[in-house]
Amino acid sequence: MNSIRYWLAVILVVTGPPAVVWWFVVHPFVGFWRRLGKLLSSLIVLALMLVACYFLYQARDALLGRDLGANRLLWAPAFILFVLSAYFDARAKKHLKLHIMTGMPELDPEDSGTPMLKEGIYASVRHPRYVAVIVGIAAFALFVNYLGIYVFTVLTVPALWLVVILEERELTERYGQEYAQYQREVPMFFPRFRPRQDR
């Protein structure tokens, strides 16, 4: 069990930070990436992410910090959070294609005509994918129980909040008043559930 916990923690500490930083590379410099084109931009960003993963892997034990041990009392809340994360992720993916999830509309102005999402889970919360990420990382943290993963979890919350600020600025430019109205009606992270309309 300790080996499983360790390698799950390593996977998170190696892949998690580059995945979050990816959005800070894309959103503020979207004009630059669009000038390069979708293919070249994707290759450059992928190469940068692989390099980052390599260096994070080399520093994995320092980043993981202290092993707080397998704590079975934390596994039940970890499981509940994992199920909640999977729920939000599955509901969001019902409305998203792979190219949207990987940020292609941001890189390709020809792809920016995608209709605005406001049905399904998006009628209850504006950013269900980020909710899924935060809750999922918290589930991982409780299960693996490494100090460094708790630190990463705490740092992910303000990081993703900043990503959302950048993303919503783009969405407001793309969709205008329609998105501004959507922001007024639907919460950012804490869902407001209403009777389902996507049955």
* pTM score, whole prediction: 0.83
Q: From its phi and psi, is residue 74 left (phi > 0), alpha (psi between -120 and 50) or beta?
A: alpha
Q: What is the mean pLDDT of residues 64-85?
A: 95
- Give helix 128-144 / helix 2-26 axis angle, nearest 10°: 150
pLDDT confidence bin for 14, thresholds 50/70/90: very high
Residue 121: which of 144, 96, 147, 141 has the closest Cα? 96
Task: Pick the closest to residue 1 from 58, 65, 67, 82 (CA basis).
Answer: 67
Average pLDDT, the chain: 86
What integer pLDDT is reported at residue 198 of this predicted model? 46
Confidence of residue 97 (pLDDT cuts 50, 70, 90): low
User: What tokens were used for 137?
Assistant: 């990382």
- 184 contacts 124 by C-beta, under 8 angstroms: no
Question: Residue 154: what pLDDT?
Answer: 96
Q: In the prediction, which pLDDT does 20 show? A: 87
> What percentage of the chain exceeds 70 in pLDDT?
87
Whether the CB-CB separation of 189 and 197 falls below 8 Å is answered with no
Of all residues in the chain, the percent with pLDDT exceeding 90 is 57
Which domains, ranges and CATH numbers included, belong to the chain? 2-185 (1.20.120)
